[in-house]
Chain A
Amino acid sequence: MPPDRNHNDSGLEAREVSKYFGDFPALKRVTLRIAAGECALIYGANGAGKTTLLRVLASLTEPSAGEIWLGGRKVDRRTVALKSRVGFVSHATFLYGDLTVEENLVLAAKLFGLSSVRSRVSAVIETFGLVDRARQSVRSLSRGLQQRATLARAMLHEPDFLLLDEPFTGLDSTAVASLEALLRRLPSQGKAVAFSTHNFAQGISIAHRLVAVERGRVSYDGPVASAPAEYSLRAPEAEVARS
């Protein structure tokens, strides 16, 4: 596959991506590019298409139409190796309940083909404050601790593109603070981050870029600073009040 000359090689892009579940359109011709050094907040109401967008970018979901490009190459069945450049945190933890945190991480490290499995695993265990829990089975952990392990799993192979779907779910305030710090730090290390959250205020305090998704379309994509006021109005307080 020849590299695409028109685009910067370092981006993760969705080009004209649509995704239908039966007749239901989850994404409608979405074009989006996330480049190194960026931190984007994917924001939208429930069912707007945030999760599908992130899953399509992570190549977990095959788009019904359109293409995903990564580092100047079109992602398809032959580009399996590209997967190690992407990290993904989803609603599901991807962790085996019957294995310990450490075993789960060692498994993932081996699947990603890391050269120094042990040291990487102990490094992320340290980073995400799981040292005391490393030898406990995942099933015995609280949702918040499981979420930390999920984050550790996603960061294990030091992905260039980190995609996170509601990563703050279940975390306590300490963990939230350190995740926020991580998400702020990564772009300065040349990584790209895209995450979704329902807490708008928290989201824009971390991200520089806002991607608003409404009913399967990107309705705003630009700097957080120049986002129309309506987005902040719709956000968290209003939504909590409704639910």
Chain B
Amino acid sequence: MRSLEIVWTLLVKDLRIEWRQRETLASVCIFGLLVVFLCDFAFEPAGAEALRLLPGVLWIAFVFAGILGFNRSFAAERENACLEGIRLAPVEPGLIYLAKLAANFVFLAVAEVVITFAAALWYNFSFFPAFKDFVTIVFFGTLGYVAVGVTFGAVAANTRMREVMLPVLQFPVAVPIFIGAIEATSGALKGAPPNLYWSWVRLLIAFAVIFAVLSFMLFEFVLEE
């Protein structure tokens, strides 16, 4: 019970800070929109071509928005060594991880809603036919991506050039997410029978669970000095 309370307290704290600096969230959303926008120039998709490119474009935008989010999430903690302040309290490090995971998930989810909405508009595409599957795929894909991103964000916060270091660490590890999420999304959006892309969703779920548990266990070493 106390564990849940602590995670909740830390999550509320993060979301409150997020809300006070909503310019950050707004800029991340705009950045995501720009990615979609630039892809439009790069590929000039039209008709069936648009449907083929859309999943990739969406996930590229999600992935870049996410990276910005993870970096910023630990910048707020670094400012006055707040993470150390939390470490002074009798709080298990794994709980700090779970709270960060939840906060970054919410942050990225908001950005994803904005990006998806814009993409639907610009690509003249309706997400409604496959809405439930699309949401499931994005949910687990994002969860897995954030599960690794929080850990590497905390690691990269200790390095020089952290803004570059984070994607260098994060992207190779997140390859299964990219593949699985893009394949599943394109299956779902094309209206393929679910059994054709559902194995990708299972891969996303497995990835999310494995890396959330692993990071939960490793986070005390990330925070240790």
Kindly identify, within residues 209 to 225 of chain B, every residue whose CB is under 8 Å from any CB belonging to chain A.
Answer: 220, 224-225
B220 touches A111 (CB 8 A): no
CB contact between A96 and one of B5, B9, B13, B92 (< 8 Å): that residue:
B13
A158-B14 Cα distance, complex, nearest whole Å: 26
A88-B84 Cα distance, complex, nearest whole Å: 10
Is A128 close to B, CB under 8 A?
no
Is B82 close to A, CB under 8 A?
yes
The smallest beta-carbon distance between B99 and chain A, in angstroms, is: 11
CB contact between A94 and one of B76, B84, B220 (< 8 Å): that residue:
B84
Contacts of A96 in B (CB 8 A): 13, 17, 76, 79-80, 82
Is B190 close to A, CB under 8 A?
no
A153 touches B89 (CB 8 A): no
Is A113 close to B, CB under 8 A?
yes
Using known A-B contacts A61-B225, A96-B76, determine if residue A107 contacts B13 with beta carbons closer than 8 Å: yes
B87 touches A60 (CB 8 A): yes
Contact residues on A (Cβ < 8 Å of other chain), bracket: 20 to 34
B9 touches A90 (CB 8 A): no
- Proximity string of chain A (84-102) to chain B, C-beta cutoff 8 Å, 1 when within and 0 when not: 1011101011111111000
Contacts of A62 in B (CB 8 A): 224-225
A95 touches B80 (CB 8 A): yes
Kindly identify, within residues 120 to 162 of chain A, every residue whose CB is under 8 Å from any CB belonging to chain B.
Answer: 137-138, 153
Q: Is the interface of B mostly helix, strand, loop or mixed?
A: helix
Contacts of A84 in B (CB 8 A): 89-90
Kindly identify, within residues 71 to 109 of chain B, every residue whose CB is under 8 Å from any CB belonging to chain A.
Answer: 76, 79-82, 84-92
- Proximity string of chain B (1-31) to chain A, C-beta cutoff 8 Å, 1 when within and 0 when not: 0100110011001001100110000000000
CB contact between A110 and one of B5, B16, B79 (< 8 Å): that residue:
B5
A98 touches B89 (CB 8 A): no
Is A77 close to B, CB under 8 A?
yes
Using known A-B contacts A62-B225, A94-B84, A99-B17, determine if residue A111 contacts B79 with beta carbons closer than 8 Å: no
Using known A-B contacts A93-B80, A94-B81, determine if residue A86 contacts B17 with beta carbons closer than 8 Å: no
- Proximity string of chain B (96-125) to chain A, C-beta cutoff 8 Å, 1 when within and 0 when not: 000000000000000000000000000000
A110 touches B9 (CB 8 A): yes
A111 touches B225 (CB 8 A): no
A152-B91 Cα distance, complex, nearest whole Å: 20
Using known A-B contacts A110-B6, A110-B9, A111-B86, determine if residue A60 contacts B225 with beta carbons closer than 8 Å: yes
The smallest beta-carbon distance between A118 and chain B, in angstroms, is: 14
A96-B82 Cα distance, complex, nearest whole Å: 7
A82-B76 Cα distance, complex, nearest whole Å: 27
The smallest beta-carbon distance between B139 and chain A, in angstroms, is: 28
A90 touches B224 (CB 8 A): no
Is A80 close to B, CB under 8 A?
yes
B21 touches A98 (CB 8 A): yes
Contacts of B82 in A (CB 8 A): 94-96
A98-B17 Cα distance, complex, nearest whole Å: 6
Using known A-B contacts A94-B81, A94-B84, A98-B20, determine if residue A83 contacts B89 with beta carbons closer than 8 Å: yes
The smallest beta-carbon distance between A60 and chain B, in angstroms, is: 6
- Proximity string of chain A (68-89) to chain B, C-beta cutoff 8 Å, 1 when within and 0 when not: 0000000001001111101110
A241-B20 Cα distance, complex, nearest whole Å: 45
B16 touches A83 (CB 8 A): no
Residue of A at shortest CB range from B17? A98
The smallest beta-carbon distance between B221 and chain A, in angstroms, is: 10
B88 touches A113 (CB 8 A): no
A90-B20 Cα distance, complex, nearest whole Å: 26
B interface, CB within 8 angstroms of A: 2, 5-6, 9-10, 13, 16-17, 20-21, 76, 79-82, 84-92, 220, 224-225
6 contacts between A and B (CB under 8 A): A62-B225, A80-B92, A95-B80, A96-B13, A98-B21, A99-B13
Q: 16 additional contacts, CB 8 Å, given A86-B88, A92-B80, A94-B85?
A: A58-B88, A62-B225, A80-B91, A80-B92, A81-B90, A83-B88, A87-B88, A92-B84, A98-B16, A98-B20, A99-B13, A103-B13, A111-B6, A111-B9, A111-B10, A153-B85
A interface, CB within 8 angstroms of B: 58, 60-62, 77, 80-84, 86-88, 90, 92-99, 103, 107-108, 110-113, 137-138, 153
